[in-house]
Amino acid sequence: MSEPTIFKRIIDGEIPAEIVYEDEQCLAFRDVNPQAPVHILVIPRKEIPSLAETDDEDQMLLGHLMIVIRRLAEEMGLKNGFRVVANSGVDGGQTVNHLHFHLLGQRNLDWPPG
């Protein structure tokens, strides 16, 4: 059996995090290495390794995560816009094998990204 990811350990309360939102399906917390003044990670409680490994049955969960992200953007006052990023796989820059979305805002986010 593989070791639990850092995100699973946060879900289980083994590692502290600055949680800004949680419900029965997901958890949102501030990134410890923020890339913008607002940098929130939104993760499902269900252990899904990456966006590429979601199933059709995850449709409702993925929609829920997007609504949570929109609500968080409103609460954080991101009126001028924000970016949502989901890295998937090694070439996509994913470093934690637990599906997660980055909510970034309160600065100009140039395109293309790094």
Positions annotated as catalytic residues are 100
Q: Are 39 and 104 in contact (CB under 8 A)?
A: yes
CB 11 within 8 A of CB 51: no
| CA 76 – CA 79 distance, rounded (Å) | 9
